[in-house]
Structures are given as structure tokens and as C-alpha cells.
Amino acid sequence: MTAKLPKRPQLTREELQQIRWLLGNALTLLAAWTVFYMDIEAWTLMVLTSVAAGVMLVRPDLPGRVPKVVHTLAFPAIVTFFAADLWIKAELLPAMVRLDMLLLLYRTISYRQRRDDLQLIVLGLFLIVIAGVLTVSLTFAAQILLYTACALAFLLVITLTDGSAAGTPAGAAQPQALPAWAQHVSWIHLARRLRVAVDWRVIGMAGILFAGVVGLSALLFLAIPRFQLESGMLLDRFITKKARSGFSDTIRFGDVTEIQQDDAVALSVDVSDRAQIPATPYWRMLVLDHYDNATFRLSPALRSAPNFEPERSAAFITGRAVPRRGRTVFWTFYLEPGVSRYLPLLGHFERLRFREQQTFRTAPLLAVVQLRTEPVTMAAYQVEDFDLSGTVADRSYGQRWRQRDEPAQARGGLQVQLGISERDRATVRRLLGEAQVDGGLEPAVFAQRVNRWLRQRHAYTLSPVIPEGEGDPLVRWMASGEAGHCELFAGAFVVMARVAGFPSRVVTGFKGGSWNAYSNNFTIRNSDAHAWAEIFDEAAATYGAWLRSDPLGIIADGESDAMGGEAAIEARLDRSWTARLDSLRVFWYRRIVNFDRGSQLETLRAAKEATQNAGKRFREAVEQALRGVKGWLTAPWDGGRVIRLVGLAATGVGLVWFWREFGRSWWRKWRGRKPRAGFDPVRREASRWLGRIEEERGAVPEREAIVLELRRLRFGARSTWAAPEKIFRRAREGLRAVRKSR
């Protein structure tokens, strides 16, 4: 038989209640001291609350001596204070802080029930949060930690006290009723009891856990701003493989087609003016100018300055589009995660705005924006006024192109080089001959003819076959007449154009999309992924521009307006169930995304002004009333005025007398005729007088008889009542007699 361990002494319920009081007041002090960190005029209240909390901590029996009238008037007084504060000072936050402080003060001078204790925590938390927003200081951090630990211990003690006795005696529900635990408090004795009753190993474990949580939070706090949140949290490993198949700056033949296999939504676009929607939108993402062995990529020359600007962080980008007349058209993009770090755009734009500051690089002349990393959550941005001409004006390139023969001019960024052999070039030249085009043609005409020739020679397929053989695979395909996909068509165009002497490049992105009939926005899916070409025309757009040339579509020139606007929407309208589901996603995005901080600020400013104006009007009304009273008092006194004043006073006194003598009893009779649940004015009045007499410790004359009669009024049958007014009067007189005798 094992020896029985001695049982650890348990804290009594009263002792737990004392600890609860101690922790509650400590929380109040910690919360009140947050005023030190705020530039808010609440010093008087802070001092009052601190003193009250300290005094009530030392003497927990004092709340029992607070007169009942304080508790009766507390609520209306606090509400009035808050309303007056709000109207006169006309500032919401400081008024709320003062209200909070006042509530803390009241909770400190009254015995608290469970709900009051919980309210105390919330009140303190409010102050802590406000102070936390307004300040950054190490002392405050220590205070928050202390508050958190204190609040946790407080909650634990609340749970323990409530668990040790479900429910409290009905009498303790009164905030001024002196509870048993508060009658003989000795903090020294309690400390001794705590020392023997508390298992310090548990306290130690709790301390270690708390320190662990605080340490981890501190580490995260310090670490997160130093690198991207998503990489810091290792979020990228949760990105699905499908989402990783997005566009990059290197495209091998088949990459775009692979993206097309995925039918998921890649992009949703809200347009503020439906009339501006082009017939076939081409959502450009990336320009690929270097070709080598079945791979198009962004060349280092194009990737560097002056094309790509250095990386920077900002919330908006100013674009190169020529400002258009009329109302600004807003294009709001919701880019799904994993699509690309290159933002889909319709061309040059006036302004691009992010929800929050982003780190990015821009290529203004290429109309390309590249985020530092691929977003792992939905990325939203808003574009103002796209250049919807279907061309990408590039004045700088035009200048360089015109000076291409000068020795100092670098050939790298001219987008005319080709990584193919001379034999392949010869093949391409032969094909150019077959297509009956040469470098002497206008670029637009050249593009039209080549595209037509390519479409006639090759069919479209998602599973192309490139013939085996020597030389470049693209040239082999061009020479074969096999069917191909968009990358092969675009690549073939670029190769033919460059061999013919035209600057050209491949562009990747999305083409078209559907118009969601439920949420009224463009929905672009991965299956809309596309590759097309651009050819430079030095005569276009005054100083030269890149014309879109889609061998699988039509050349941009002159196409746009004919089928744009409502007609384009009608042609792309999607009313399917998928569209219904997609619309939910867009509704959500619209709810959480807000670019318009200006309107938010405007609303806040308007609210502030309204409050200030109301406070001003209130002050004016009060001042006017005071002036009126002053004027009336200072006006010369004559007999008529005196008579009127006396008459007014007499009427007032008469009304009061009439009400007390008859009005109240009539009122009670009238209300008592149809007694409602829980409401009978006589019973309520009797209950009130019973409470007053019970609280009165002095000798009330005829106390027993009065109490019996009052009890009859409160609990007896109505038919046995004898003149309630007289009984109330007796009670009133009895209480007055006691007070006078003191």
C-alpha cells in the first residue's frame, strides 16, 4: 500500500473572490495608465480612476459604502457625460476614451459580477488597442504584456470562482451590497495562503508557455517585415501546380498551349464604361524578343535600361498613354494567384493604381509591368484610360530605329536579330517569296499578307507535329505546312518579319474572354491564353508604334470600334452556371477591394464636419438660451413682471402639488387597470419603498406596520389594498423622521 500524499490546501471561494478583486483593479490601473501614451485630454479621469482603483484595492469594503443614489444615477450620468462630451468637443475618439475611463471608474467603485468583470477586460482592451495604434514604445509593449498576462490570470480566476459555486446569492447582485469576501480582507494573509495553496510548478509552466508565445510573436513581428510574407510563411509550397504553370519571361513552344488546357479563371476585369470595350481585347502581359531554338525569351538588352526601369516600391504607376478627353474609364483587374508576375494590360495607360504599395519594375515603352514576385493571393489593380488603338506607341524605339545604321547604335534592343542558321534564313526567304512579300512593303500590309499566307498554309491545332530534320524546328514547321498552335504562328510571323527586315516580337497574354452576365465583368480564363506578334511601323502614331499582328486573328488597324461596346458584350455574354459561380467570386473581390481612399477620406471628413457642426449648433443654442435668461433677468423689474413671475411660480407649485396629491394615484389606477406582465405601478412603488426601508438602519417609526402594509401592496391581492398613497406617505414620513433624528 502506497503512502497517501498530503493534500494541498485549497483556496476558499472568498479568497478566490479577493484575488479576483485584486486582479480586476490591477487591470483597471494598467488600462488607465495608457493615457500616458495618448495625446487625449483624459488626465483628470485617469487620476481619479487610478486613485479609486488603489483605494478600493486597499479597502475592498468601501464600495459597500457608496450611496445607492450613485448607482442609480450612474448610467444616466455617464450617458449624459458622453453625449455632452461628443457634442461639445465634437471628436469621437477622445470622447470614447473618456467614456471608457468613466466606465472603468464606475466598475472600480462597485462590486462586480461576472459580466462586469468581463466588461472590465473589454474596456481595458479598448484603451490598450487605441494606445497601441497611437504609439510605438518599448514601455508600452511591456505594459501590453503585463495587461495580457493579468487578463489571462483574471479570466482563470473568474472561471474558478464561477466553477466553485454556480450562481451567486441573489443579494450579491446589488453593486453596493457588501459581499462576505470583502468584509475582512488581509492581503498579507492571502499572500501566505497563496504561497501554500498554489502549485508553483503549474505557475512556472504557465509562465514558460506565455513567454514562449510572446517570444514567437516577437520573432514573427521582427522577421516578417524583412522578407515577403508569403515566402516567410512558406506559403508558396501551398500553391497548386496548375497555378504555377503561368506565364514567365521564357516561353518554349507548347507552354502557352499547356496553359490553355486549364479552364480556371485567370483574371476578372471590371470596366466603368461599357462603351469602351474593344471587340477583341488583347490582354498583353509580356514581350519576348529573343528567339533561339524553339524558345522565345526576353532578351537581356530589352530587360535592362532604358526599357525596364529599376525596381521601386509605390502604390501607383504613371503610364505613357496620351490623356484622352471625356470621362476617365476605370479598368479594375482581379488577377488570380499563380498566373504571372507580369500584369495583363491592354496597352499603354495613363495611371495604374495598386491597393497598397507594391515592389515592381516597369517597362513604360513596352507597356509591361512586372511585380517582384508572383502573387500568391489575388492581386488587384486599377488602370485609368487605356490606349485602345491596338498599337503600342514607342517614340524612343522609333528614334533608335531611324539611327540604326549609326556605328554607336547598339543592335541588341532593336528586335531584329534571329538565332537561326544561314540555311534556315534561306528557307525563310524562299517562303517569303512564296508569300509574295518583301521588306519594301508597308509593315501593316506585310503583316496582313503574311498572316493570310500563314493561315492558308497551316491549320490550327493544339497538338502540332513538327517534322524531324536538321535546322531550326520553327523553320522546319514553317516549311512543312503542318497544323500548329498560336505560338508557332506568332513565331513564324516574327521570323519572317525579321528576315524581311522588320522589327518584330512575340507578345504573350490572353485574348478575348467572356462577359459575365451576372456580375457584369470580363472573365478571362487560362484557356484564353494566347501568343501573337507585334511589328514596328515607324510611320504609325507620328513617331512610330508597334502594330499588333495576330496570324490567328485580324490586324488591329481599324477593327476596334466597329464591333466594340455593347455589341462586344452581347457577343461574349456568358449566362452559364459557371458564370454564376464566378460572379460570386467577383462580388467578394469588389467588397474587399477598395482603391478609392479619396472617397473614404471624404466620408470621414464629412462625418467629422457633421459632428463639429452639430456641436457648434448645440453650443450656440445653449449660449443663446443663456443670453435670453440673462437679458430677462437684467431687464427692468415692474409690477406686471413680478406678478407674472409669482403667478408662474404659483402655477408650478400648484401643478406639483396636484400631481403628488391626485395625479400619481390616478396614473397608477389608470395603469393598474390593465396590468402588463411585470409592470404594476403600485407594486413597483411598494417594492421601491420596501427596499428603502430595509436599507435604513435607523429606527423607523411603526416600521413593522408600514412594512406589512407595503408588503401587502407588493405581494397581496389588489382587492385588499387600502389607499396605496397613504401607505407610501407613511413610509416617506417614517424615513424622513429617521433622517431628521440623526
Partner 1 sequence: MSDFVPAAQITDARQAVDRLRTNMQRTIRGKDDVLEQVLVCLVAGGHLLIEDLPGVGKTTLAYSLARSMDCVFSRIQFTSDLLPSDVTGVAIYDETVKEFVFKKGPVFANVVLADEINRATPKTQSALLEVMDRARVTIDGEPHAVGSPFMVFATQNPVDYEGTFPLPESQMDRFLMRLRMGYPEPGDELEILRTARGGYDAIALNPVVTRTEILGLQALAHQVFIEDSVLDFILKIVAATRTESEFRAGVSVRGGVALRSAAQARALVHQRDFILPEDVVELVAPVLAHRLALARQSSDALEERRAVAAALKRIVGSIPLPQ
CB 174 within 8 A of CB 112: no
- We find the least distance from the C-beta atom of residue 656 to partner 1, in angstroms, to be 28
- In the complex, the smallest distance separating the C-beta of residue 106 from partner 1, rounded to whole angstroms, is 21
DSSP character string of 364-407: TTTTEEEESS--SS-EEEEEEEE--SSEEE-HHHHHHHHTTTST
Task: Tell the smallest beta-carbon distance from residue 113 to partner 1 (Å).
Answer: 12
Which residue number, 2 or 720, has a Cβ lying nearer to partner 1? Answer: 720
Question: Quick one: 47 or 165, whose CB is closer to partner 1?
Answer: 165
Helix (H, G, I), strand (E, B) or coil at 125: helix
Give the nearest distance from C-beta 692 to partner 1 in angstroms. Answer: 12
Q: How far is the CB of 105 from partner 1 (least distance, A)?
A: 26
Measuring CA to CA, how many Å separate 259 from each of 243, 338, 507, 529, 579? 9, 12, 15, 7, 20
Burial of 611 (0-12, 13-18, 19+ CB in 10 A): middle
Between residues 410 and 717, which has the closer beta carbon with respect to partner 1?
717
Q: Could you tell me which of 333, 341, 327, 283 has the C-alpha nearest to residue 590?
A: 333
Q: How far apart are CA 589 and CA 580, in angstroms?
A: 15
**Which of 12, 186 has the CB closer to partner 1?**
12
Nearer to partner 1, 171 or 598 (CB): 171
**Cβ 264 to partner 1, closest distance in Å?**
53
Half-sphere exposure of 455 (CA within 13 A, CB side): 12
Q: Pick from 180, 121, 113, 184: which is nearest to 151 by CA?
A: 121
**Cβ(33)–Cβ(25) below 8 Å:** no
* Whole-number Cα distances in Å, 672 to 185, 368, 718: 47, 81, 10
C-beta separation of 295 from 362 below 8 A: no
Closer to partner 1 by CB, 171 or 225: give it: 171
The 3-state secondary structure of 631-667, one letter per residue:
HHHHCCCCHHHHHHHHHHHHHHHHHHHHHHHHHHHHH
What is the H or E stretch that residue 507 is in?
Answer: strand 504-511
| Residue closer to partner 1 (CB basis): 142 or 708 | 708
Between 136 and 170, name the residue whose CB sits nearer to partner 1.
170
Nearer to partner 1, 452 or 711 (CB): 711
CA angle 456, 457, 458 (to 5 degrees): 100
Quote the cell numbers at residue 300: 537581356
Q: How far is the CB of 62 from partner 1 (least distance, A)?
A: 25
Which residues are paired to 288 by β-bridges? 506
Nearer to partner 1, 258 or 695 (CB): 695
Contact 510, 572 (CB under 8 A): no
Q: What's at 121, amino acid-wise?
A: I
Q: How far is the CB of 691 from partner 1 (least distance, A)?
A: 6
**Taking a C-beta distance cutoff of 8 angstroms, is the pair 342, 285 a contact?**
yes
> How far are the Cα atoms of 21, 22, 160, 363 from residue 153, in angstroms, in the given order?
12, 11, 10, 57
Look up residue 329 and give its DSSP letter: P
Rank residues 10 and 624 by Cβ distance to partner 1 and give the closer one: 10
| Contact (Cβ atoms closer than 8 angstroms) between residue 240 and residue 338 | yes
Give min distance, CB of 713 to partner 1, in A. 10
Kindly state the smallest distance separating residue 164's Cβ from partner 1, in Å.
11
Give least dist CB 715 to partner 1, A. 5
- Using alpha carbons only, how large is the chain's radius of gyration in Å? 41
Looking at the Cβ atoms of 188 and 717, the one nearer to partner 1 is 717
| Smallest separation (angstroms) from partner 1 to the CB of 160 | 16
* CB of 184 or CB of 711, closer to partner 1: 711
Rounded to an integer, what distance in angstroms lies between the CA atom of residue 307 and that of residue 293? 25
Please report how close the Cβ of residue 83 comes to partner 1 at its closest, in angstroms: 30
CB 666 to partner 1: min, Å = 23
Q: Which of 5, 717 has the CB closer to partner 1?
A: 717
Instruction: Report which secondary-structure segment, H or E, holds 487.
Output: helix 486-500
The rounded Cα 237 to chain-centroid distance in angstroms is 26
Q: Which is nearer to partner 1, 165 or 642 (CB)?
A: 165
Q: Which is nearer to partner 1, 77 or 705 (CB)?
A: 705
Binding site for partner 1 (CB under 8 A): 165-170, 173, 677-678, 683, 687, 690-691, 711-712, 714-720
Quick one: 159 or 624, whose CB is closer to partner 1?
Answer: 159
- CA–CA separation, 464 vs 466, rounded Å? 6
From the CB of 170, what's the least distance to partner 1, in Å?
Answer: 4
Bridge-based pairing state of the strands 349-363 and 290-292? unpaired
Give the torsion sign (CA, 474, 479, 485, 486): positive
- What distance, in Å, lies between the first and last C-alpha atoms of the chain? 70
Q: Rounded to the nearest whole angstrom, what is the least distance from the CB of residue 685 to partner 1 in the complex?
A: 12
> What is the rounded CA–CA span in Å between residue 432 and residue 435?
5
Closer by beta carbon to partner 1, 425 or else 684: 684
The nearest distance, CB 671 to partner 1, in angstroms, is: 16
- The long-range contacts involving 90-98, CB below 8 angstroms and separated by at least 24 positions, are 90/608, 90/611, 90/612, 90/614, 90/615, 90/616, 91/611, 92/611, 93/40, 93/130, 94/40, 94/41, 94/42, 96/126, 97/35, 97/38, 97/40, 97/42, 97/127, 97/130, 98/40, 98/41, 98/42, 98/45
Among 711, 730, 707, 729, residue whose Cα is nearest residue 721: 711
User: Minimum CB separation from partner 1 for residue 688, in Å?
Assistant: 9
63: which residues sit within 8 A by CB, 6+ positions away? Answer: 56, 109, 110, 111, 175, 176, 178, 182
Residue with cell 549609326: 406
